Amino acid sequence: MIRWSFILLAILSVVASGCRDKEAQEQAERQKRLLEDQTVPVTFTEPKIDDLSVALDVSGPLKSLDEVQVGAETAGRLTMVAVNDGSPVRAGQVIARVDSVALSLQVQRAEAGLARAKSLRAQAEQQAKMSPKSTEASIQQAEAALAQAQANLRLVRAGARTQEIERAKEQVNAAKATMEKRRMDYDRMQELFNQEVISRSELEQAEWAYKTALADYRAAVEALDALQEGSRPEEIERAEEAVRQAEAGVRAARANADIDNVRREQLREANAAVREAEAALASARKQLADADVISPITGYVVGRPAQVGQVVAPGTPIARIVSLNSVYFEAKIPEMEVAKVSTGQQVEVTIDALPDIKFTGTVAAVTPQADDLGRLFSARIAVENGRGLLKPGMFGKGRIITEQVRGATLIPTDAIRTEGGKHFVFVAENAKAKQVEVRIGLTQDGYTQVLDYNESGKLILGGKDLLTDGAAIREDTAQAREK
């Protein structure tokens, strides 16, 4: 039994040795065929037409352009604070108020002062308006009186002229003739009365006419005597005194003109007082209005505001307000990349706190100076925030589209071989590899843009590193199936 076992093992050993020799022979045969075959196995790909863009990845915080620290405009104690941390506010809303009782009293005093100043101005205007007319009339009257007094003085000093004496004599003769006629009439009427021909009243009328004519005659005689005698010293002195009084009247009237100047100056001072009172009232009203602390923008209160009862001075912070309408993404740009970024470029923005939402922004500005730490520049990226989801302080990431080409011809970057600073691809032509020089453009996601590429042959991808121009090729179907 043992002997048969050894025989069986010997037979199996011979059979196994024969199989191994056959496999080795087949492997050697295959290697021989490969060594004799000069064709290079390759795989193919095709160019594609697509839009190409190059982006710069950036990150940074969200900030707000409209961020204000609202402060008190006037001193006092806060009597009302209408907001808290996070409260929404609108532009023009009163968010706090300073005690305004004393300020209201100041306004009332200023209003009273203005009314008083206007009343005084009205009086000054009336006096200034009336004085020039009365003063001018007084001067004219005084000058006329002086002229008359001076003329009278000249007459008194000169005495009566011959013509005046002759005229006076004629007046005496006329008065005498009238007087004698009236006397004769009276005598005749007396006789008729005695005869009871006329009434007593008629007699009395004749008597009155006679006496009047007699008085006129005597006055004419006295006037003639005065002219013939000449002016007496006391008459000349009275005329001179009248001239002196008239001159004094002229001086007094002209002195009133100086009073007019004073009244005009008083009017100017009254106008100045009104303007000063108006300014005081405007200042008091502004202080009263400033008691209301008003938000200049629409937004949200950030942080704890001042509290009721707190005493504040002008400039004391009341509340910090941030507007969500002007939230922007402040991206940090490395020094070596800043030249690629310019205003108007589109940016794809994501926010760590809102991972499921994509935002679109635009580069609005790039700071001209880098910070000292890290040599980073800042780009202000405007982001639409219509729903108010973006808030200052959030952290964001962005992709700035620095270059973009529409309808670019793209090939796999691995299909390009670079030698001596030149770029080549291989295309299949009649079962051979044709080397073609190409100009390349942008590269993105494993694809490179080729410029002026017009080749119709299949583009070689796999095996390109083993090729030379004109090398025989065959498609590596096994590798193509694996891909």
**How many Cα atoms occupy the beta-carbon half-sphere of 218 within 13 Å?**
6
Q: Report the interhelical angle of 162-194 vs 200-229 (nearest 10°).
A: 160
Tokens of 285: 């009203």
Predicted TM-score (pTM) above 0.85: no
Which amino acid does the sequence have at 154? R
Q: Are 323 and 301 in contact (CB under 8 A)?
A: no
What local confidence, expressed as pLDDT, does residue 1 receive?
45
What local confidence, expressed as pLDDT, does residue 466 receive?
87
Burial class (CB in 10 A: 0-12, 13-18, 19+), 346: middle
pLDDT less than 70: residues of the chain = 1-21, 29-37, 130-139, 153, 155-163, 226-236, 253-260, 478-483
Q: What is the CA radius of gyration of the chain?
A: 64
Which amino acid does the sequence have at 230? G
> What does each C-alpha distance from 222 to 153, 154, 169, 206, 225 come to in angstroms?
21, 22, 11, 25, 5
CB atoms within 10 A of CB 190: 14
What local confidence, expressed as pLDDT, does residue 157 receive?
60
Q: Are 310 and 318 in contact (CB under 8 A)?
A: no
What local confidence, expressed as pLDDT, does residue 2 receive?
47
Q: Which domains are seen in the chain, by residue range?
A: 48-64+323-482 (2.40.30.170), 67-99+291-321 (2.40.50.100), 109-269 (no CATH)
Q: Are 270 and 120 in contact (CB under 8 A)?
A: yes
User: Which residue blocks in 200-331 are alpha helix, DSSP H?
Assistant: 200-229, 233-289
